[in-house]
Amino acid sequence: SSIKTFCLVVLGISLSSLILLTISGNVLVCLAVCASRRLRCLTNCFIVSLAITDLLLGLLVLPFSALSLLSDEWLLGPDFCNLYICMDVMLCTASILNLLAISVDRYLAVTMPLRYASVVLPWRVAMVMACVWTVSIAVSFLPIQMGWNTPDGKVQNHRPEDSDKECKFELNRPYVLIDSLFTFYLPLVAMCWTYLRILRIARAQAKRIISARPALALREHKATVTLAAVIGAFVVCWLPYFIMFTVMGLREQLEQGTLYSVVLWLGYANSALNPVLYAALNRDFRSAYARLLKCRCPSYNGWRTRHSTTATVQLANGTATTDLNGSER
């Protein structure tokens, strides 16, 4: 009994820390954009959209997920259970699709820096964001409230035999295949392709002028590390969940054990990492963070100059530089 209590306390502290980190990190991203004029640009609309999505996940979903996990039962009734599951699926899907939008935006910024401003227009950004939320709602509220995700076609948690103390997310084969394909596997392939293309372009440009500017060797290495971190974090956080999600759906398995909770919270952790991976790697965001947190580091300016990850494009009258976060310098 004492060991169980200790484990629950440790688990509660860990989950609370993750929730607080998710909320505070994404609030910081939003405040940074509000506080800095340099950050108020179309490029950062996707990062702000991602931050708002992850913030809503931290406020509206994670506390109830933690409560359910710690109490080992559902205490809020079947109606709120289905609403909670809908919000969970919607916000996790929106978070992943926002990451996809960021990867495409950065690909365009690096591959066509001179045409970027004419290609990425406000109405196109608005359309992409509308598509992100339309798809997110389409795979969450609509099928779950209509019972399209369950093996028997009935709305989950509302049958006479369903217990009020359980909050089950039921799965059938068509729903799992469609949902996982369009909200994870295809975005994963697209993200890997765009980031690998960015890396190849950065390497090719660096090799062409490496003799004139040896510092680019360090930048090329930094680019490799940065892209590995971005792709690696996404894969490590979400791939285990979607593999298990797919297997459970194909088997139409209803029981969700400890392993399911572990891989689910691993996916949630990606929302806490996103403010670091997709905002702090941008030097303008780092400057805004430093001002907001009143953090003064003597070597900060030198560090950001030496380690700025760039893709360099030679022009007729000079050199234009675009960093991997999409800002032109």
Model confidence over 143-155: pLDDT tens digits?
999 999 998 889 9
pLDDT of 112 higher than 60: yes
* HEC per residue, 124-135: HHHHHHHHHHHH
pLDDT of residue 256: 77
Tokens found for residue 276: 């670091």
Q: Which has more pLDDT, 29 or 287?
A: 29
**Range in 167-181, 196-210, 277-291 the model is least confident about:** 196-210
pLDDT of 325 higher than 60: no
pLDDT of residue 15: 94
pLDDT of residue 315: 32
pLDDT of residue 266: 94
Domain span holding position 211: 2-323
Which CATH number do you get for residue 11?
A: 1.20.1070.10
* 8 Å CB contact between 282 and 309: no
Q: What is the pLDDT of residues 97-108, one digit of tens each?
A: 998 998 898 888
pTM value is 0.83
Tell me whether residue 328 is in a domain. Answer: no
Tell me whether residue 256 is in a domain. Answer: yes
* 8 Å CB contact between 242 and 180: yes
pLDDT of 194 higher than 60: yes
pLDDT of residue 318: 40
Beta bridge partners of 318: 315
* Mean pLDDT calculated for residue range 72-94: 92
* 8 Å CB contact between 266 and 65: no
Give the strand pairing for 318-323 and 310-315. antiparallel
Beta bridge partners of 319: 314
Tell me whether residue 77 is in a domain. Answer: yes
Tell me whether residue 329 is in a domain. Answer: no
Query: Using 50, 70 and 90 to split pLDDT, how confident is the model at 161?
Result: confident
Q: What is the pLDDT of residues 243-260, one digit of tens each?
A: 999 999 888 877 778 899
Query: Domains in the chain: how many in total?
Result: 1
Q: Which has more pLDDT, 29 or 226?
A: 29
Half-sphere exposure in the Cβ direction for 251 (13 Å, CA): 10
* 8 Å CB contact between 180 and 94: no
Beta bridge partners of 315: 318
Residue carrying the six token digits 């040896």: 214
Q: What value, to the nearest 5°, has the Cα angle with vertex 196 and ends 193 and 201?
A: 120
pLDDT of residue 210: 56
Tokens found for residue 43: 């490029």
- DSSP 8-state assignment for residue 228: H
Provide the 3-class DSSP secondary structure of residue 210: coil
Tell me whether residue 60 is in a domain. Answer: yes
Tell me whether residue 46 is in a domain. Answer: yes
pLDDT of 329 higher than 50: no
Tell me whether residue 156 is in a domain. Answer: yes
DSSP string of 115-174? THHHHS-HHHHHHHHHHHHHHHHHTTHHHHHHTTTSTTSSPTT-STTS-TT-------HH
Tokens found for residue 71: 């109490």
Type and span of the H or E element at 206: helix 186-209
User: Measured between alpha carbons, how far is 149 from 177 in angstroms, rounded to an integer?
Assistant: 11
* 8 Å CB contact between 173 and 252: yes
Q: Which has more pLDDT, 1 or 107?
A: 107
Tell me whether residue 271 is in a domain. Answer: yes
User: Measured between alpha carbons, how far is 89 from 101 in angstroms, rounded to an integer?
Assistant: 18
pLDDT of 26 higher than 70: yes
Q: What is the pLDDT of residues 166-176, one digit of tens each?
A: 888 999 999 99
pLDDT of 14 higher than 90: yes
State the average pLDDT for the chain.
82
